[in-house]
Amino acid sequence: MGARILIPPSPKAGDVIDVRILIQHPMETGFRHELSGSVVPKNVLRELRLDFNGLVLLDAELGTGTAANPFIQFQTKLFESGWFNLRWVDDMGVQGSERVQCFLRTS
């Protein structure tokens, strides 16, 4: 299960930038049944956290209403170069992480 963190290539300090996150996850609602009749257990991303150099930018608990492979977008301002760190845990206890570096343009 992978993820993508998408940021503009080299923003300027103080620019409002779009941060887009795409995570590969089935987001099972717990309402579906197998052909045999057994219920597919609920398995959604329980915790999702994105921080930038240790500063938490996004802390989310997703529910059964979110589609598979969630796409989350928000805006922020950066004042220094650094790393975006994304961590998540699902109902099965499976953890995942992804990080991406962002350099600010000086001029």
Binding residues (CB under 8 A) for other proteins: these are 2-4, 6, 20, 22-24, 26-27, 67-69, 71
Of 71 and 83, the one with the shorter C-beta distance to other proteins is: 71
Q: What is the nearest approach in angstroms of other proteins to the Cβ of residue 63?
A: 16
Minimum distance from residue 101 beta carbon to other proteins (Å): 17
Alpha-carbon span 88 to 97, nearest angstrom: 6
Going across the sheet that includes 82-90, the strands are: 55-60, 45-52, 82-90, 95-102
How far apart are alpha carbons 47 and 64 in whole angstroms? 13
**CB of 32 or CB of 55, closer to other proteins:** 32
Asked whether 13 and 80 are in contact (CB, 8 A), the reply is yes
Strand 16-23, strand 45-52: pairing? unpaired
Closest CB 6 distance from other proteins, rounded Å: 5
Nearest residue (CB) to other proteins, 25 versus 78: 25
